[in-house]
Amino acid sequence: MNLEQQIISSIQQGFKALFDHEVGIEDLGLQPTRKEFEGTYTFVMFPFLKVTKMAPEACGTKLGEYLVAQTDLVTDFNVVKGFLNLSVSETSWIRVFEKLYSNPSLGQLPPNGQKVMVEYSSPNTNKPLHLGHLRNNFLGYSVSEILKANGYKVTKANLVNDRGIHICKSMVAYQHFGNGETPESSGLKGDHLAGKYYVIFDKEYKKQIKELVDQGLTEEDAKKQAPLLVEAQEMLRKWEANDTEVVALWKQMNDWVYAGFDTTYKKMGVDFDKFYYESDTYLLGKDIVEEGLSKGVFFKKDNGSVWVDLSAEGLDEKLVLRGDGTSVYITQDMGTCDLKFNDFGFDKSIYVVGNEQDYHFDVLFKIMRKLGRPYGDGLYHLSYGMVDLPTGKMKSREGTVVDADDLMNEMIETAETHTKELGKIEGFSTEEAKVLYETLGLGALKYFLLKVDPKKRMLFNPQESIEFQGNTGPFIQYSHARIASILRKAEQIGVDYTQGFEGLDKLEDAERDLIIILNDFEKKIRQAGDDFSPALLAQYLFDLAKEYNRFYADLSIFNESDKKVQAFRVALSSLTAKTIKSGMKLLGINVPDRM
pLDDT at position 391: 67
Say what the pLDDT of residue 401 is.
Answer: 66
Exposure letters 464-489 (e unless 16+ CB within 10 A, then b): ebbebeebbbbbbbbbbbbbbebbee
Question: Is the distance from CB of 406 to CB of 380 less than 8 angstroms?
Answer: no
DSSP state string for 80-149 = ETTEEEEEEPHHHHHHHHHHHHT-TTTT-PPP-S-EEEEE----BTTS--BHHHHHHHHHHHHHHHHHHH
**What CA–CA distance (Å, rounded) separates 586 from 175?**
44
Dihedral sign, Cα of residue 542, residue 133, residue 439, residue 526: positive
Cα separation, 352 vs 294, whole angstroms? 32
Phi, psi torsion values for 117, nearest 5 degrees: -110, 130
Residue 501 and residue 94 in contact, taking contact as beta carbons nearer than 8 Å: yes
Burial of 500 (0-12, 13-18, 19+ CB in 10 A): exposed
- Domains in the chain (CATH in brackets) are 3-88 (3.30.1360.70), 164-255 (no CATH), 286-326 (no CATH), 404-587 (1.10.730.10)
DSSP codes of every residue in 66-81: HHHHH-SSEEEEEEET
pLDDT of residue 570: 97
The pLDDT score that the predictor gives to residue 402 is 83
**What whole-number distance in Å separates Cα of residue 57 and Cα of residue 46?**
10
Q: What is the pLDDT along the chain (595 residues), one digit of tens a residue?
A: 789 999 999 999 999 999 999 999 999 999 999 989 999 999 999 999 999 999 999 999 999 999 999 999 999 999 999 999 999 999 999 999 999 999 999 999 999 999 999 999 999 999 999 998 999 999 999 999 999 999 999 999 999 999 999 999 999 999 999 999 999 999 999 999 999 999 999 999 999 999 999 999 999 999 999 999 999 999 999 999 999 999 999 999 999 999 999 999 999 999 999 999 999 999 999 999 999 999 999 999 999 999 999 999 999 999 999 999 888 999 999 999 999 999 999 999 999 999 999 999 999 999 999 999 999 999 999 999 998 877 654 444 444 568 999 999 999 999 999 898 888 788 899 999 999 999 999 999 999 999 999 999 998 888 889 998 999 999 999 999 999 999 999 999 999 998 778 788 899 999 999 999 999 999 999 999 999 999 999 999 999 999 999 999 999 999 999 999 999 999 999 999 999 999 999 999 999 999 8
